[in-house]
Structure 1
């Protein structure tokens, strides 16, 4: 499981990448929610 530690907070898993990106970009805008995008969901949306 990928683990990211930023400002003393530990995030486990890819679903936290939007929040990790938000931290790295200077916390601009609203705090992102956890994301559980999957390949199947993306295929359904594209259909």
Structure 2
């Protein structure tokens, strides 16, 4: 069970490389964006 959880965390980290998620609205944004494309909150 623990191994599966670690595997999932590693996979999600690899898949989301180059992307950050806004802490306010949860929208995903490319790494080069300094603020959220959806709500405008700074990174």
User: Does the pair score TM above 0.5?
Assistant: no
Structure showing greater relative contact order (alpha-carbon pairs closer than 8 Å, 6 or more residues apart): 1
TM value normalised by structure 2:
0.24
Greater helix share, 1 or 2?
1
TM value normalised by structure 1:
0.23
